[in-house]
Amino acid sequence: MSRIQATLAALAANNKKGLIPFITAGDPAPELTVPLMHALVRGGADILELGVPFSDPMAEGPVIQRACERALKFGVSLHDVLGYVRQFRQDNSTTPVVLMGYANPLERMGVDAFIAAAKEAGVDGSIVVDYPPEECEEFAAKMQANGMDPIFLLAPTSTEKRIQQVAKVGGGFTYYVSLKGVTGAANIDTTEVAARVAAIRKHVKLPIGVGFGIRDAATAKAVAQVSDAVVIGSRIIQELENTPREQAVAAVENFLSGIRKALDE
């Protein structure tokens, strides 16, 4: 059982829901990435999702696009992101870390080199947004052979065939995109989310995390009632944008602790 699977299984055994916050590595400054990761854990994160900056993040809304642009201005690369994970692991050997990004940086490094480097750094899984699950069975198998989970996205428009393929090749958890559009784009219809998650569960036996559009404690709690975990990204990036840099770590921890409290009530 992977660290992601073990974490989510332990939460389920205690009738708790997972909290998966997202930040973009290198934003708002490279030296803050690891302190922010630790702050998110103190705030109640169960799994960390760390974005790999990319110049054309097609699934991201304006908020995370800006985060990528800021990180890229600092020259933050996939190598740097792996370095942040390695540094985080010096003080935290238990919280799973998932890298979220796009195929281009990974392909440039080379799939085998990436998998070896990710394993050495202490990465637990990856979401490669533009890797179709139908075309990367070899990648998924190599990830799992090295103890890491290939995590795939499903959307409101996903066909039954696509859901079945994700069930076949995915690991860790399945990420359900709760709305049609990009990250942070709209408010969630929790009734529709409940119906779609129920349909996905007919085929997918992995835990289901729901993200895109979760902006506050009330929405997080509503979504958690029909899923196994909630993913929050754009709202955390907004917190960083609206906070002086020297207060960023405390602000993020405080924000996430409010979400954690709502999930546990």
C-alpha to C-alpha distance for 13 and 7, rounded to whole angstroms: 10
Q: Decide if 108 contacts 81 (C-beta within 8 A).
A: no
d(CA 138, CA 221): 37
Q: Compute the distance between CA of residue 204 and CA of residue 223 in angstroms, rounded to an integer.
A: 18
Tell me if residue 241 is catalytic.
Answer: no
Pairing of strands 153-154, 174-177: parallel
Residue burial 2-40, b: 16+ Cβ < 10 Å; e: rest = bbbbebbeebeeeebbbbbbbbbbbbbebebbbebbbbb
* Selected catalytic residue, list 49, 69, 241, 265: 49
Question: Is the CB of residue 169 less than 8 Å from the CB of residue 133?
Answer: yes
Catalytic residue among 31, 60, 137, 246: 60
In the residue annotation, 253 being an active-site residue is answered as: no
Catalytic positions, written as ranges: 49, 60
